[in-house]
């Protein structure tokens, strides 16, 4: 049984198609991230789940109960928004209490639940503060506590980290995952940040133009992208021109490299998309000249202009291996094509 | 030196403009107050008589008039009715327009200015259309309330509209609804407390319209306070003007106190410096405790 399910959900705004028959099932306790660029339909899907928008066709169900036409306030969903959504006139404790009060929970139970939630997000000492007395990260944690206080069936997170600075974002991201796992709540998370999606999700749903491009675990989406769009959107990619030799080999500048080329006819010109970590510096490979060396902590990103195909590529080099490299050095580059993606040129 | 002079010059101009505006606003009030509260013939009201023969006789005379009490009572009831009517009608409308019909905001704003352009007498003429169907209502003095709601529109809509623009309306409404609150609860528990300032100013402007409107109530033969003042002016001009000044100062004072008292608690507590908040955030993050 799925905890949340979209079946053939279609939504248009005027002539703009926001969702083109979305089919997605979220399992109980699972965290699925909807990942995609602006306008791909991810937020529309979330708002349809929340009841703020209604689908033109198709159904949304929670635990196999169709809620497609249920009003937002009658759905048992918790939601955290991109912008700070705490009620400015209420203290932290009263914000958390809001949903419990609207559900007419007994006073003693409400007080107990508010304490539990404050403990969960570790903000007990801020209970009497007003939202404007909190930092952005603290406000989002209170918003999370408020959403969870009502014990919703599904938690909806609409880019809750995007208004925060990088360091706070990483900490809160881990915090959200910890709380989600601890509470065991089914969660739909929307983001355009691929790093965030890969770090937090059980499964990632990459979307483009109202359709799902790929649904899979973070490793699957990153290591085995099913389309060129996913390959480009998730992580960075180098693009090399080549010609298909057969279904598992591509010729790049006269060298045959093992690259899966399913679905492409022999002799077709293709673009080979390959990640920086799948390129290595070797003794016998494509010759080129180092154009940049960027230290990134654990790895170093080396830019190399390949001679024969006049193409600039980025290569992830392990710690220490790039210490001797300088701009202008001559190097040789090899390609591990096992995870590469072929796209018709 | 030149920079200092230029800074002084830049401070001087606003000060002069401010003083000129204050004089322009206050002088007529002082003149009316002197006429109403000083028992000195008008031709002798100069600098030399500024502190002479101040008296409350005019106003106490007005208070003693047997028509004053009922007129005041009616105007107060009309003011209360108009305030409820205006906010009850305009707040949900403005919220709806902001959320669902943002493109229609210009049209609605234009419509709310119409009462400025349509003379009061034309509004009253419109009564002929509904007279045969609603005679019972038109016989009541409270039939003035719809007129007053319309007359107050240009002021009240703008005040509420400005309030709605100052908050993140969509997010607050969505958050409230996702927490199980219907539209009524959302209006009452989320929007109204956060629009307190604009609702208080809308109330103030509405009361000012009701306490100042003469044309419609006079034509419809309703004995409201402005009608009483106009009638009383013929028998005791000083008393009528003293009454005007008293009401102006009285309503201003009441609303000044009201806006202080209704200031949300959240506005009374000190805002934490964003830099301090960011440092706290970072410190907590470093400790792995928070944020």
Contacts of A134 in chain B (CB under 8 A): 272, 277
pLDDT band with cut points at 50, 70 and 90 for residue B266: low
- Tell me if chain A has a CB within 8 Å of the CB of B189: yes
How many residues are there in chain A?
A: 345
Contacts of B187 in chain A (CB under 8 A): none
As a whole-number percent, the residues of chain B with pLDDT over 90 amount to: 32
Nearest CA in chain B to A121: B290
Distance CA B52, CA A203 (A): 87
- Tell me if chain A has a CB within 8 Å of the CB of B197: no
- Tell me if chain A has a CB within 8 Å of the CB of B198: no
Prediction pTM value: 0.81
As a whole-number percent, the residues of chain B with pLDDT over 70 amount to: 87
Please, which residues have CB within 8 angstroms of residue B206's CB and are 6 or more apart in sequence?
Answer: B79, B82, B83, B86, B148, B152, B155, B156
In this prediction, residue B264 carries a pLDDT of 66
* Bigger pLDDT: A147 vs B137: A147
Query: Quick check: B177 and A52 CB within 8 A?
Result: yes
Q: What is the pLDDT of residues B225-245, one digit of tens each?
A: 899 988 888 888 888 888 888
Nearest CA in chain B to A123: B290
Of A98, A123, A138, the CB nearest to B179: A98
The Cα of B183 is separated from the nearest Cα of chain A by a number of Å equal to 9
User: Which among A230, A242, A306, A308 has a CA at the least distance from the CA of A272?
Assistant: A242
Q: Is A132 helix (H, G, I), strand (E, B) or coil?
A: helix
Distance CA A284, CA B105 (A): 68
The Cα of A68 is separated from the nearest Cα of chain B by a number of Å equal to 15
Please, which residues have CB within 8 angstroms of residue A228's CB and are 6 or more apart in sequence?
Answer: A271, A273, A341, A343
pLDDT band with cut points at 50, 70 and 90 for residue B274: very low
How many residues are there in chain B?
A: 291
Q: Measured in whole angstroms, how far is the alpha carbon of residue B66 from the centre of its chain?
A: 29
Contacts of A50 in chain B (CB under 8 A): 174, 178
In this prediction, residue B285 carries a pLDDT of 45
pLDDT band with cut points at 50, 70 and 90 for residue B119: confident
Of A73, A130, A132, the CB nearest to B177: A73
Query: Quick check: B168 and A102 CB within 8 A?
Result: no
Phi, psi for A118 (deg, rounded to 5): -65, -35
The Cα of A60 is separated from the nearest Cα of chain B by a number of Å equal to 16
pLDDT above 50: residue B192: yes
Query: Quick check: A88 and B194 CB within 8 A?
Result: yes
In this prediction, residue B1 carries a pLDDT of 53
pLDDT above 70: residue B288: no
Distance CA A110, CA A97 (A): 7
For residues A156 and A78, the answer to whether their CB atoms sit within 8 Å is yes
Contacts of A92 in chain B (CB under 8 A): none
Mutation choice for A interface testing from B99, B175, B275, B280 by most A CBs within 10 A: B175
Query: Quick check: B285 and A137 CB within 8 A?
Result: yes
Domain segments of chain B as ranges: 24-55, 68-287
A252: its two tokens: 């790049």
Task: Of A131-140, B39-48, B208-217, give the range with the top mean pLDDT.
Answer: A131-140
Distance CA A123, CA A131 (A): 12
Q: How is domain B68-287 classified at the architecture level of CATH?
A: Orthogonal Bundle (1.10)
Mutation choice for A interface testing from B99, B163, B168, B180 by most A CBs within 10 A: B180
The Cα of A325 is separated from the nearest Cα of chain B by a number of Å equal to 34
CB contacts < 8 A (A, B): 117
- ipTM summary value: 0.84
Of A71, A77, A141, the CB nearest to B291: A141
* Bigger pLDDT: B287 vs A297: A297
User: Which among B224, B93, B75 has a CA at the least distance from the CA of B156?
Assistant: B93
Query: Quick check: B282 and A133 CB within 8 A?
Result: no
A65: its two tokens: 């109960």
Phi, psi for B46 (deg, rounded to 5): -130, -170
- Tell me if chain A has a CB within 8 Å of the CB of B250: no
In this prediction, residue A75 carries a pLDDT of 93
Query: Quick check: B171 and A103 CB within 8 A?
Result: no
Nearest CA in chain A to B263: A89
Q: What is the mean pLDDT of each run of 10 residues along chain A (345 residues)?
A: 93 93 95 94 96 95 94 94 92 96 94 94 92 93 94 94 88 92 94 93 95 95 89 88 90 88 87 89 89 86 85 80 85 88 83
Q: Is A282 helix (H, G, I), strand (E, B) or coil?
A: strand
Of A50, A73, A78, the CB nearest to B182: A73
Distance CA B15, CA B18 (A): 5
Nearest CA in chain A to B276: A135
What is the residue-wise DSSP string for A134-172? S-HHHHHHHHHHHHHHT--SEEEEESTTTTS-HHHHHHH
In this prediction, residue B283 carries a pLDDT of 45
The Cα of A58 is separated from the nearest Cα of chain B by a number of Å equal to 22
In this prediction, residue A304 carries a pLDDT of 92
For residues A207 and A6, the answer to whether their CB atoms sit within 8 Å is no
pLDDT above 60: residue B270: no
Of A98, A168, A175, the CB nearest to B281: A168
Of A87, A171, A172, the CB nearest to B172: A87
């Amino acid at each position: 049984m799925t905890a949340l399910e979209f079946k053939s959900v279609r939504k248009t705004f005027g002539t703009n198609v926001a969702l083109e028959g979305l089919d997605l099932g979220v399992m109980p306790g699972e965290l699925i991230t909807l990942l995609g660029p602006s306008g791909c339909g991810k937020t529309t899907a979330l708002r349809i789940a929340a009841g703020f928008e209604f689908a033109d066709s198709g159904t949304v169900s929670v635990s196999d109960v169709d809620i497609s036409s249920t009003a937002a306030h009658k759905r048992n969903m918790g939601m955290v928004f991109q912008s700070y959504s705490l009620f400015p006139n209420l203290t932290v404790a009263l914000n958390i209490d809001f949903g419990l009060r609207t559900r007419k929970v007994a006073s003693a139970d409400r007080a107990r639940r508010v304490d539990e939630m404050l403990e969960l997000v570790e903000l007990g000492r801020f209970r009497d503060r007003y939202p404007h007395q909190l930092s952005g990260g603290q406000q989002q944690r209170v918003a999370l506590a408020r959403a969870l206080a009502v014990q919703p069936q599904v938690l909806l997170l609409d880019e809750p980290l995007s208004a925060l600075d990088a360091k706070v974002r990483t900490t809160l991201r881990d915090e959200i995952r910890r709380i989600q796992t601890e509470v065991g709540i089914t969660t739909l998370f929307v983001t355009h940040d691929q790093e965030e999606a890969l770090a937090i999700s059980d499964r990632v749903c990459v979307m483009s133009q109202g359709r799902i491009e790929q649904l899979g675990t973070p490793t699957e989406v990153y290591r085995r992208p099913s389309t060129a769009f996913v390959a480009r959107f998730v992580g960075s990619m180098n693009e090399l021109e080549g010609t298909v030799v057969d279904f598992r080999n591509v010729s790049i500048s006269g060298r045959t490299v093992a690259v899966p080329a399913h679905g492409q006819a022999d002799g077709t010109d293709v673009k080979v998309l390959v990640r920086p970590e799948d390129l290595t510096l070797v003794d016998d490979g494509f010759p080129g000249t180092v154009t940049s060396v960027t230290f990134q902590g654990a790895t170093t990103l080396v830019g190399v202009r390949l001679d024969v195909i006049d193409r600039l590529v980025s290569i992830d080099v392990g710690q220490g291996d790039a210490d001797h490299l300088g701009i202008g050095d001559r190097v040789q580059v090899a390609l591990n094509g096992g995870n590469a993606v072929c796209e018709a040129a | 030196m030149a920079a200092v002079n230029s800074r002084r010059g830049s401070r001087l101009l606003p000060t002069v403009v401010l003083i000129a505006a204050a004089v322009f606003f206050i002088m007529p009030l002082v003149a009316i107050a002197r006429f109403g509260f000083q028992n000195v013939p008008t031709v002798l009201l100069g600098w030399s008589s500024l502190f002479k023969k101040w008296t409350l006789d005019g106003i106490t005379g007005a208070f003693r008039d047997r028509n004053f009490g009922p007129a005041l009572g009616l105007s107060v009831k009309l003011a209360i009715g108009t305030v409820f009517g205006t906010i009850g009608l305009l707040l949900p409308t403005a919220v709806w327009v902001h959320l669902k019909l943002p493109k229609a905001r210009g049209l609605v704003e234009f419509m709310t200015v119409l009462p400025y352009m349509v003379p009061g007498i034309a509004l009253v003429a419109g009564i002929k259309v509904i007279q045969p169907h609603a005679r019972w209502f038109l016989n009541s003095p409270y039939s003035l309330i719809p007129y007053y709601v319309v007359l107050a529109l240009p002021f009240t809509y703008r005040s509420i509209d400005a309030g709605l623009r100052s908050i993140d309306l969509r997010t607050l409404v969505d958050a409230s609804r996702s927490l199980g609150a219907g539209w009524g609860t959302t209006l009452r528990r989320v929007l109204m407390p956060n629009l307190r300032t604009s609702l208080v100013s809308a109330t103030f402007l509405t009361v000012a319209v009701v306490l100042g409107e003469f044309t419609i109530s006079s034509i419809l033969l309703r004995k409201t306070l402005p009608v009483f003042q106009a009638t009383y002016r013929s028998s005791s001009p000083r008393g009528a003007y003293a009454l005007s000044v008293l009401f102006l100062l009285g309503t201003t004072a009441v609303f000044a106190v009201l806006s202080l008292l209704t200031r949300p608690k959240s506005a009374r507590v000190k805002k934490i410096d964003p830099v301090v908040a960011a440092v706290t955030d970072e410190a907590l993050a470093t400790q792995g405790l928070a944020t």
